[in-house]
Amino acid sequence: DLSSLVSCLSEEDKKDECISHAVSVVKAWLVGSYHKIFKLYQTAPRMSSYLMDLFMLRERTCALKIIVKAYRPSVPIDFIRDELAFEADSETQDFLTRFGLAFTDDTRSKIDCKASTAILSAPPS
């Protein structure tokens, strides 16, 4: 339990930027705040972002499913890039390509949320 773990920390430990950041990440994850998780990822101290990389794919996938359900009829790729803390458009496209999502047109600048919800809900093949 997070609260018992935090209560065991000394005052000095609680002030450490890495420990404080890690506690914030866990709190955001426990309440399901993907927005907060990705903001914390972007501001991770020292080499904490490398540790967070271990679960970023899972969190981005979960967040993408939530966004696609919530943002009908479409959601801009730029929003996905910014919200899921991708550094480049190419990185965003690589991530989205793995899901075979539907787009609103040939420019692939917006995800068709209605068509993509079914794709994301389908069991993996």
Q: Which two tokens mark 29?
A: 């994850």
Query: What is the CATH class of 2-121?
Result: mainly alpha
pLDDT tens string 81-103: 999 999 999 999 999 999 999 99
pLDDT tens string 33-55: 999 999 999 999 999 999 999 99
The four Cα atoms 25, 27, 33, 39 give a dihedral, to 10 degrees, of: -30
31 pLDDT higher than 80: yes
Nearest to residue 70, comparing CAs of 62, 78, 81? Answer: 62
**Where in the chain are the domains?**
2-121
- What's the one-letter identity of residue 37? I
108 with 99: CB under 8 angstroms? no
